[in-house]
A and B are shown apart, each in its own frame.
Chain A
Amino acid sequence: MTAARILLADDHALVRRGVRLILDQEPDLTVVAEAGDGAEAVERVRDTDVDLVILDIAMPRMTGLQAAREIGRRSSRGEPPRMLMLSMHDNEQYFFESLKLGACGYVLKSVADEDLVGACRAALRGEAFVYPGAMGALVRDYLDRMRRGERVPETVLTEREDEVLKLIAEGSSSKEIARALTISIKTVERHRANILAKLGMRDRTQLTRYAIRAGLIEP
């Protein structure tokens, strides 16, 4: 198996180095190029063959979001690479905007040490990496629709998944849910992934379609 080729864009050289060291430890991931701002990232995508682009949102010259828009446009060489956004901002609107621009997910810098590798693999599989902060908004919308009697994806959640779903809707973090239900964080995260899959929000396109229909993003 050849390792996935990654382009890493962040204006902070030391952050870049940190991310690179973490990714390069994984046998299936390799950073093949770096960029210090959005414009440079767009150029690298043109001249380097990459499978995945990791973009920091706050960058000079061209922000990560602007760069994602450029990269997401289908190039003459076929499918654009998969994209993953990296950011300090804990705000679900960034996640939805990232989705809209064609990115597979959004990783918060404060959990990059835990989530980044998993997010990269999900993105490479074409799945969405739903950042925990956005789960609340998605799930609340789902519950609202169910209450109003609208047609929602048919789902059979287990009792535990139902509990987790409600706690997510109330804005609890994985850590808080783990404590409330006396289960491990890893288990909470597995439930989270299962719930998403059951609600039909596993892959990027499904999730984007859902978010647009729910009015969480403009089409």
Chain B
Amino acid sequence: MRLYWKVVLINGAVLAVATLLLVLGPFSVSRHPVVSEAVVLGVGLLVMLVTNSLLLRSSFKPIEKVVAEYDAMFERLEDERAASSARALAAQEAERHRIARELHDDVGQQLTVVLLGLKQLEQRVPPELADELAALRESTRDGLDDVRRVVRRLRPGVLEDLGLPNALASLANDFAEHSSASVRRVVTPGLPPLSPEAELVVYRVAQEALTNAARHAHADGVELSLTRVGDRVALVVADDGRGFDTRTDGDGLRGMRERARLAHGELAVTSSPAGTTVRLEVPSS
């Protein structure tokens, strides 16, 4: 039976019983009700309401179940979406890593060979060719610089080779070089170890937070800290810029959240006109 008819029927039945009782029962209401009549009416109304709500509740039960199932499904979908974007992120990082390695190991080395070869030739060719050779050498150098820049953007080699504190120091240096804001870096010694994936997440979140601070916040100062919180590691990037609305989930913020999830971490972003703080906590491995 449709829910609508069920509700009509239940209400109808309760009202019918009440009417019948009024008609057949030993009840009467005077033109100016006395207290005893009012009490009887009140009790009657209460009984009606309770009966009605009890009956309605049982018929609404299936709906509540559906709503609960719907919520659960929604949550599951959200989890799956997050998991699949985390997978996509991981795949993207792996691919970047591979391309960077090939560029570094193959193209980079070959260009180095050419560069050194040209230098070595310069002393053996007729002088009239020296300028041309020097120009070739500069082009090769530019090519090598380009490869190096691309590799650096693709894969933070410093993270793998020198670890997270050094990689953060390098980010801070980059930031100081390209922005007028000063950056203060605090890394507590003796941090618990993180998995390589978690380190990469911390690095990318710091990178994104610094990029935001430099690009949008017009900050004068930024503090970058990596500290221990129990058996977790906390990254905090705080700037004194003009802040932004954290409800409008920009690409950068969404990216940070997805990365945080990838490392089973928690990300909190607070922002006011006095500055923005990005805080990421990740469990140690």
Give chain A's interface residues, CB within 8 Å of chain B: 12, 14-15, 17-19, 21-22, 25, 57-58, 63, 65, 88-94, 96-97, 108-114, 136-137, 140, 144, 170-171, 215-216, 218
Q: Which residues of B contact A57 (CB under 8 A)?
A: 161
Q: A65-B161, A90-B148 are in contact. List 8 more A-B contacts (CB 8 A).
A: A12-B113, A15-B113, A15-B116, A22-B120, A58-B104, A65-B162, A91-B157, A113-B118
Tell whether, in the assembled complex, residue B112 and residue A112 are in contact, meaning their CB atoms are under 8 Å apart.
yes
Q: Which of B132-148 contact A (CB under 8 A)?
A: 137, 141, 144-145, 147-148
Please name the 4 residue pairs, one residue from A and one from B, whose CB atoms are nearest each other, closest first. Answer: A18-B116, A113-B119, A171-B177, A110-B144
Number of contact residues on B: which range applies? 35 or more
Kindly provide the distance from the CB of A145 to the nearest chain B CB, expressed in whole angstroms. 12
| Given A97-B166, A216-B169: A112 in contact with B115 (beta carbons within 8 A) | yes
Name the CB-closest residue of A to B143: A110
Q: Which residues of B contact A171 (CB under 8 A)?
A: 177-178
Cβ of B19 under 8 Å from chain A: no
| Given A63-B161, A110-B144, A113-B116: A93 in contact with B109 (beta carbons within 8 A) | no
| Given A25-B123, A144-B182: A89 in contact with B157 (beta carbons within 8 A) | yes
Kindly provide the distance from the CB of B177 to the nearest chain A CB, expressed in whole angstroms. 4
Cβ of B200 under 8 Å from chain A: no
A–B pairs, 28, beta carbons within 8 Å: A12-B113, A15-B116, A18-B115, A22-B116, A22-B120, A57-B161, A63-B161, A65-B161, A88-B148, A89-B157, A89-B158, A90-B148, A90-B152, A93-B158, A93-B166, A93-B167, A93-B173, A94-B158, A96-B166, A109-B115, A110-B112, A110-B115, A110-B141, A110-B145, A113-B115, A113-B118, A140-B176, A171-B177
Bound-state Cα–Cα, A139 to B159, Å: 24
Partner of B120, one of A18, A91, A109: A18
Kindly provide the distance from the CB of B278 to the nearest chain A CB, expressed in whole angstroms. 22
Tell whether, in the assembled complex, residue B104 and residue A14 are in contact, meaning their CB atoms are under 8 Å apart.
no
Kindly provide the distance from the CB of B186 to the nearest chain A CB, expressed in whole angstroms. 10
Q: Which residues of B contact A137 (CB under 8 A)?
A: 173, 176
Partner of A14, one of B109, B148, B161: B109
Cβ of B117 under 8 Å from chain A: yes
Name the CB-closest residue of A to B106: A12
Tell whether, in the assembled complex, residue A93 and residue B115 are in contact, meaning their CB atoms are under 8 Å apart.
no
Cβ of B189 under 8 Å from chain A: yes
Q: Which of B117-134 contact A (CB under 8 A)?
A: 117-120, 123
Q: Which residues of A contact B123 (CB under 8 A)?
A: 25
Bound-state Cα–Cα, A211 to B117, Å: 35
Bound-state Cα–Cα, A216 to B176, Å: 14
Cβ of B108 under 8 Å from chain A: yes
